[in-house]
Amino acid sequence: MASQDWFEKDFYATLGVAKDVTASDLKKTYRKLARTYHPDSNQGDAKAEAKFKEISEAYAVLSDPEQREEYDQMRAMGSGARFTAGGQGAGGFEDVFSQFGQGRGGGRYQAQDFEDIFSMFNQGGSGFGSGRFGQSTGGFRGYGGPTRGADVTARTTIDFVTATKGETISLQGEDGKPFKVKIPAGVSDGQKIRLRGRGRPSPDGGENGDVVVSVTVRPHPVFTRDGLNLRVTVPVTFTEAALGATIEVPTLGGDPVKLRVAPGTPSGRVLRVKGRGVQTAKGVGDLLAEVQVVVPTHLDDRAREALEKFHELEPKENPRADLMAKARG
C-alpha cells in the first residue's frame, strides 16, 4: 500500500469502529462486513466488490499491531500532509518534514528529521515504501484478510427420545474417521448443529471452516413436539366424558400419570401436566393431553335401548345452532 493511501483513507471509518477498538471487536466487525460484501455472495456487483476490497485493506492494516501503530502515527501528523513527487505549490515532502523541523532551524527539516520519519517505514530493514505496506495477506484475489476454510455438511437421523433427552453420537467424517457430535436436549427436526473449526482448512492460513450437521428426527407413535411441550391424544369413552372419570395418561420415558376428566368434557379439551415435557437448559415444558371422545361402533340390544331412553331424556338443545347462526352472518 502506498503511503499516500495511509493519509487519505480513514480505515477506522471504513470499518465503522472507534480508534480504541479492541482486536477482538475489530475481528468481529470485519467478519460481519466481509460476509455481507464478499464477491462470492454478490456476483457481478462491482460496488460490493469495491467495498470488500476497502474493508479488507483496512483490516489488513489495523489487525497488525505494528502496522496499526505506524498508521496511527502517520495519521497523527495531520490529514493535510502528502507524499508527492515534489514540484511547485503546496505538498511535497516538505509538508510532512516541516512538522519535525519546527523549532530547529526556521521550519526547515534537517538530517535527523529524515531519520525520524524514515524509521517509521524502514523498521525491519524493508526499506521505504516496501515491506509490510505491499504484502498481500491472501483472501479474495489478494484483497487482504485470510480466507476462511469451507464448511462441510453432514446429516444424521435420530429417534424422538434422543432428540428430547440429548446424547453424544458418532458420525463419519470426509476422511473416513469418526467424530463426536453432541446432540443437545430439545433439538428439533430439521435443526442444524454447527461444529466450529471442524471443517476444511483455510488455503492461506485463515480459520478452518465448520461442520454443519442437519438433524432429522423420526416421529414418535404417540407423542409430538410443540416447542418444549409434548402433546398426546387421549381417547375417552362417551360415558367418561359425560359423567367424568379419572384416567391414566402415558409420559415419555416415565410412569403414567393420572388425570381427572371433568363431567361434560368435550373432544378437543386439553389437560395439562406440569413439568412432564422436554427438559433443556432453557426451561422445561409440559405434557398436553388432548381429550378425544370415542363413539362406540357396536352396540348390543341393551346398550342401544339404554341410549334410546337417554335420548328421550337429554336436553333438547341443538349443538349446531350457534354454528348455523354464525354461518348465516
pLDDT, one tens digit per residue, over 201-226 is 888 788 899 999 999 999 999 999 99
Q: Do residues 150 and 200 lie in contact, with contact meaning Cβ atoms separated by under 8 Å?
A: yes
Same domain, 250 and 163: no
For residues 24 and 127, state if they share a domain.
Answer: yes
DSSP 147: P
User: Is the residue at 329 inside a domain?
Assistant: no
- 147 falls within a domain: no
- Number of structural domains the chain divides into: 3
- DSSP code per residue over 36-71: HH-GGGSTT-HHHHHHHHHHHHHHHHHTSHHHHHHH
Mean pLDDT on 28-38: 87
Instruction: Verify that 106 and 163 share a domain, yes or no.
Output: no
Q: Establish if 64 belongs to a structural domain.
A: yes
Please answer whether residues 254 and 230 qualify as being in contact, where contact means their C-beta atoms are separated by less than 8 angstroms: no
Q: How far is CA 316 from CA 73, 265, 274, 293, 311, in A?
A: 94, 19, 38, 21, 9
* CA distances from residue 160 to 19, 184, 224 in whole angstroms, order as listed: 51, 13, 9
> Which of 102-116, 137-151, 286-300 comes out lowest in average pLDDT?
102-116
Q: Which residue has the higher pLDDT, 130 or 77?
A: 77
Q: Give the CATH number of the domain where residue 91 resides.
A: 1.10.287.110
Residue 50's pLDDT band, with cuts at 50, 70 and 90, is confident
Unique residue bearing C-alpha cell 485463515: 206
What tens digit of pLDDT does each residue of 233-278 get?
A: 999 999 999 999 999 999 998 899 999 999 999 999 999 999 999 9
Residues 12 and 109 placed together within one structural domain of the fold:
yes
Asked whether the predicted pLDDT for residue 163 surpasses 60, the reply is: yes
pLDDT of residue 144: 57
CATH number at residue 198: 2.60.260.20
In eight-state DSSP terms, residue 166 is -
Domain boundary pick from 79, 113, 142: 142
pLDDT digits (tens, 9 = 90+) for 165-191: 999 999 888 777 888 999 999 999 999
| pLDDT at 42 (0 to 100) | 81
Domain check: are 46 and 138 in the same one?
Answer: yes
pLDDT tens per residue across span 84-143:
333 444 444 444 444 444 444 444 334 344 444 444 444 444 333 333 333 334 444 445
13-29 confidence digits (pLDDT tens): 989 999 999 988 998 99
pTM: 0.53
Domain span at 256: 224-324
pLDDT of residue 124: 40
Residues 158 and 137 both lie in one domain: no
137 in a domain, yes or no? yes
pLDDT averaged over every residue in the chain: 79
**Are 92 and 126 within one domain?**
yes
Write down the residue that cell numbers 446432540 correspond to: 183
pLDDT of residue 67: 84
Structure confidence at residue 78 (pLDDT)? 55
Same domain, 70 and 113: yes
Please check whether residues 125 and 172 belong to one and the same domain. Answer: no
Q: Could you say which of 217, 240, 260 is where a domain stops?
A: 217
What is the sign, positive or negative, of the torsion defined by CA atoms of 269, 272, 273, 277? positive
Higher-scoring residue by pLDDT: 293, 81: 293
pLDDT band at 39 (very low <50, low <70, confident <90, very high): confident
Say yes or no to pLDDT of 229 above 80: yes
Residue 86 located in a structural domain: yes
Residue 264 lies in a domain: yes
| 289 and 194 inside one domain | no
Q: Are residues 83 and 124 in the same domain?
A: yes
Q: Which of 199, 217, 235 is the last residue of a domain?
A: 217
Per-residue pLDDT, averaged over 64-90, amounts to: 62
228 with 209, same domain: the answer is no
**pLDDT attached to residue 135:** 39
Q: Burial, 282: exposed, middle or buried (Cβ in 10 Å; 0-12, 13-18, 19+)?
A: exposed
SS3 217: strand
Which of the two residues, 187 and 45, has the higher pLDDT score?
187
Portion of the chain with pLDDT greater than 70, in percent: 77
In terms of Cα–Cα distance, which of 50, 49, 84, 63 is closest to 11?
63
- Which has the minimum average pLDDT: 71-75, 227-231, 291-295? 71-75
